[in-house]
Structure 1
Amino acid sequence: MGLVRIACPFDQWGIDILGPFPPAVAQKKFIIVAVEYFTKWVEAEKLAKKSEKEVINFVWKNIICRFGIPRVLISDNGTQFQGKAIMAWCKELKIQQDFIAVGNPQVNDQTKVTNCTILQHLKMIMERAKGLWVEELPGVLWAYGTTPRSSTGETPFCLVYGTEAIIPAEIGEETQRITQYDATKNQDERAFDLTVIEEKRDTAYAKILHHKGLMMRSYNRKIRPRCFQFGDLGLKKIEVSKHVGKLDPGWEGPFKVIKIKKPRTYKLQDLEGKDLPRSWNIHNLKKFYA
């Protein structure tokens, strides 16, 4: 497992599509989520379908028009992320696309990884909300953006805008910012916040590196090296989207390894000779013994 290197804020975004959820207004049943790697800021929108057009519109509206053109977009290798239209569009804007294998929560070689913890957290909340998930989404994003992250020690809101947001709790139990508000002093304090935002970001970056280093050492201590050879048979984890019951087996197969794309990442084929779409990381595979 390696470290994720982040040059500056808004430089790299991880993007994914969650769902399907119970259909809501206008048949919205997916959520497209983008996570900015440095600040941990999250952008999300509701979608009725997964397509290249929807992804392009989201990146333009929610990322480029708000934060500028990113240097890198990181995603899985689903067709909505690596179709001809979106790849040509990214190439025109000089946006580098990095793809990770299905089910790979670690950094794999030089490939960066989206923050799976953030995405999984959002998904669990959305699933609990059932049919009300559309109404719950803005509140989830607000709560996430105003909560300090352990990896940076700051809230995403602060690292983006240079100050903390006023949250509902400060209205119910009035804080000093509310009771002692003064327009002139507030302007001076805001100017000061903007002068120290780079210092806050530098400190956050140092904490990110320290946090990633701890994760890497912990992972490397626990991991047991394993690999597949060409022609080996294996089982793969059943994807969450298939809604596996608690008592159902969590694995399906067997499948044959037909290509080693890179260390620990494989192309699979079922026993009838049909290739599985996308590549699969060894994290989601295990040996099959006949």
Structure 2
Amino acid sequence: MDIVGPLPHASGNRTYMLAMTDYFSKWIEAEAFPQVMEKHSNGQAESSNKIVKNNLKRRLEEIGANWAGELPFVLWSDRTTPKVATGQTPFSLVYGAEAVIPSDVQVPTYQYANTTEERNQVEMASSLDIIDESRTSAQIRMVTYKQTAARSYRNVRLRTLQVEDLVLRKVFPNTKNQSTGKFAYNWEGRYGIEDIVGNGAYKLETMDEEVVSRSWNIIHLKKYYV
């Protein structure tokens, strides 16, 4: 479970997205909210899923204030895109068959144009017969992928912060001063580390010792040296 945001203000004053990702299939469910209470994320906001944090969040920020209305289409695109870890789409791992994408309907492929209801039923039944084999293959590939990634990063040192450390916080597109254009600052602050929440998440406080209302992941923080 991840909190994504703050994003540009959408209808209903919604600025946050609560996203949940199935560990195996990579299927994402997401909803837009005006606010997401810390108890909903168990203090692990934006810490568990790279796809949600980076790819999905970036695409929603590019859409602007209409991101909440475009969310179903962004999710559909993600669900029908093959994942490196499994080699398959989330849709196929959940339903046992690939989705028919809109472009196949608007400009019919040979297979789509020559498919009858009876033939489709036969092919769907065949797909269900091999779904266990497909999921097993995806599981093996995912384990292999994780082992390869672990070997690649075995010498990487984890970055940590301590209470009372000073940090700068990343500036997001919706909080950046647009009048400054490309000369806008990418980091803001200073902030102090008020508490260590866990799993790379920290509570911040201002220089006036006012606690910031939400936790921040270390990927959005940079240590400040006096």
Tell me if TM exceeds 0.5. yes
In 2, are the aligned partners of 1:152 and 1:207 still within 8 Å (CA)? yes
Is 1:166 matched with 2:100?
Answer: yes
**Aligned-CA RMSD value:** 3.3
1:157 to 73, 91, 102: 91
1:22 to 2, 6, 9: 9
What letter is aligned with 1:253? R
Determine the structure 2 residue equivalent to 1:34: 20
What letter is aligned with 1:198? D
Determine the structure 2 residue equivalent to 1:237: 169
Q: Counterparts of 2:215 and 2:15 in 1: how far apart (Å)?
A: 26
Q: Counterparts of 1:265 and 1:129 in 2: how far apart (Å)?
A: 27
Determine the structure 2 residue equivalent to 1:46: 32
Q: Aligned ranges for residues 122-271 of structure 1 at < 5 Å?
A: 122-221=56-155, 223-224=156-157, 227-228=160-161, 233-238=165-170, 240=172, 243-245=175-177, 246=182, 247-255=184-192, 257=193, 269-271=205-207
In 2, are the aligned partners of 1:244 and 1:250 still within 8 Å (CA)? no
- The alignment partner of 1:32 has SS state of strand
Q: Counterparts of 2:56 and 2:63 in 1: how far apart (Å)?
A: 11
- The alignment partner of 1:37 has SS state of coil
Count of residues paired in the alignment = 221
Q: Percent identity?
A: 29
Is 1:81 matched with 2:44?
Answer: no
Structure 2: stretches of 5+ with no match in the other structure: none
Is 1:289 matched with 2:225?
Answer: yes
In 2, are the aligned partners of 1:103 and 1:283 still within 8 Å (CA)? no
Q: Counterparts of 1:190 and 1:131 in 2: how far apart (Å)?
A: 40
In 2, are the aligned partners of 1:18 and 1:33 still within 8 Å (CA)? no
In 2, are the aligned partners of 1:103 and 1:284 still within 8 Å (CA)? no
Change (3 A) 1:180 1:285: closer
Cα deviation, 1:196-231, whole Å, max 9, x if unaligned, reads 11111111112222222333333334x345555565
Aligned-pair CA distance for 1:183 = 2.9
Change (3 A) 1:145 1:263: closer
- The alignment partner of 1:43 has SS state of strand
- Give the structure-1-normalised TM-score: 0.62
In 1, are the aligned partners of 2:14 and 2:35 still within 8 Å (CA)? no
In 1, are the aligned partners of 2:3 and 2:16 still within 8 Å (CA)? no
